[in-house]
Amino acid sequence: MEQLAAEDPEALALLRDALQDGALEVVGASYGQPYGLFHGGESNVRQRVTGVRTHALHYGSSVFEGIRVYGTPRGPMGFRLQDHLTRMYNSAKLYRIPMPFAQDELERACKQVVTENGLAKGAYIRPVAFRGMAGLGLTAREGSPVEVAVAAFEWGAYLGEGGLKNGVDVCVSSWQRVAPNTIPAGAKAAGGYLSSQLISMEAKRNGFAEGIGLTTDGMVGEGAGENLFLIKDGRLMTPPAASSILAGITRDTVMCLARDMGIEVMEQPIPREMLYFADEIFFTGTAAEVTPVRSVDRIEIGSGSRGPITERLQDAFFGIFSGKTPDSRGWLEPLVPPMRPSVAI
């Protein structure tokens, strides 16, 4: 303002008049980890200015994804990047959020943000699409803008480095998962995570690493931000997609790996008491990866530490990135196209 007053006082006066008349809006600026703003073609910026009347800010009208990048012997690789973006576009379709970019354009933006921020050793990518200045009505105005941004930053073990080896203590929350045909659990939309926040906040307030939400009929749903598996008599069990869960991509990965190892996989409704009877329990998720659960409601699970089948599945999962587990399904996607070998003439 001081510079504008010195260089162009008439422009400053016009700006003040516009603010008083409501023709312009005062906005807030958010700061944080380096992230790339794809909308407008920018990247590697630290500041994003968002209007206080942004529709998503008031009503949660945004869709997003969480995608891991792993350092591998072949260089940094995005893990199941296409599958994540496909889910994001399906979520946008459900909520009638018109994506202003094609999926392959957003894919290139995700890769660009990681490489330009020098995150070759590993990163977490967060693409997000949200309704912008769409008015304060509950339903966004027709043709209102949709903003798209991509964040990329380093993120270690979501539930703690020690949790991956030793397991975590969790509880069954007093808050239930959303009922079917209310907020669609199969879409990854911001507003749906208010339920997850209640589950997670209650757990942490009571000294647990995470909470588990039951369905409205009292069956096991999922963790606040993770899918859940239990092992009983050598069988791997997980609630079905109909149990108000987000059918996670890491969940699908683990089921594929388990079948490859000859482990029987069962998607079935799970009553609460099965949690306490289980031989092993673990969480899965892009952030959580494969995290063992050592106790539920302070009842020890199995031996009270990471179980043998959980450890085998962990080794197979992380082996995808070390090269120990063959990437037979093409889950790893290079961030930079491989260079063609030079040809001597």
The residue out of 110, 125, 153 marking a domain boundary is 153
Which active-site residues does the annotation give?
Answer: 188
- Whether 334 is covered by a domain: the verdict is no
Give the total number of structural domains in the chain. 2
User: What are phi and psi for residue 251, nearest 5 degrees?
Assistant: -55, -50
Is 345 within the bounds of a domain? no
Q: Return the DSSP state at 342.
A: P
Shared-domain flag, residues 170 and 37: no
Q: Does residue 260 fall inside a structural domain?
A: yes
Decide which of 118, 153, 188 is a domain's last residue.
Answer: 153
Residue 344 lies in a domain: no
* C-alpha dist (Å) from residue 173 to 82, 215, 289, 313: 33, 11, 22, 27
Instruction: Answer yes or no: is 341 within a domain.
Output: no
Looking at the fold, whether 145 and 166 belong to one and the same domain comes out as no
Angle, helices 249-260 vs 81-94, to 10°: value is 140
pLDDT at site 20: 60
Residues 117 and 244 placed together within one structural domain of the fold: no
H helix or E strand, kind and range, residue 67? strand 67-72
Q: Which residue has the higher pLDDT, 24 or 159?
A: 159
Give per-residue pLDDT as tens, 2-13.
Answer: 555 666 677 667
Those residues whose C-beta lies under 8 Å from the C-beta of residue 51, and which sit 6 or more positions away, are: 25, 27, 132, 133
The answer to whether the CB of 213 falls within 8 A of the CB of 221 is yes
Let me know whether 243 and 202 are in one domain.
yes
Q: How do residues 135-193 score in pLDDT, each as one tens digit?
A: 888 998 888 899 999 999 999 888 888 999 999 999 999 999 999 899 999 999 999 99
Cα separation of 164 and 13, whole Å?
59
Q: CA 97, CA 143: separation in Å to the nearest integer?
A: 10
What's the pLDDT tens digit per position in 238-249? 999 999 999 999
- What backbone phi and psi angles, to 5 degrees, belong to 44? 55, 50
Write down the H helix ranges in the chain: 2-7, 9-21, 55-59, 81-94, 103-116, 161-166, 193-205, 249-260, 273-277, 308-322
Counted residue by residue, the chain has a size of: 345
Its pTM stands at 0.84
H, E, C per residue of 277-314: HCCEEEEEECCCEEEEEEEECCEECCCCCCCHHHHHHH
CATH number, domain at 283?
A: 3.20.10.10
E strand spans, 132-199: 146-153, 168-172
Q: Report which residue type is found at 21.
A: D
For residues 150 and 105, give the distance between their C-alpha atoms in angstroms, rounded to a whole number: 12
Place 342 in a pLDDT band, splitting at 50, 70 and 90: very low
> Who's near 188: CB < 8 A, 6+ residues apart?
63, 64, 65, 87, 88, 91, 246
The number of C-alpha atoms within 13 Å of 342 and in the hemisphere containing its C-beta is 2
pLDDT-derived band at 49, boundaries 50, 70, 90: low
CA atoms within 13 Å, Cβ hemisphere of 20: 6
Q: Which DSSP string corresponds to 27-52?
A: EEEEEEEEEE--TTS--SEEEEEEET
Q: Mark 167-187 as b/e (b = at least 16 C-beta within 10 Å).
A: bbbbbbbebbbbeeeebbbeb
pLDDT of 130 > 70? The answer is: yes
Tell me: do 121 and 258 sit in the same domain: no
For residues 72 and 323, the answer to whether their CB atoms sit within 8 Å is yes
**Residue 247: which domain range?**
161-322
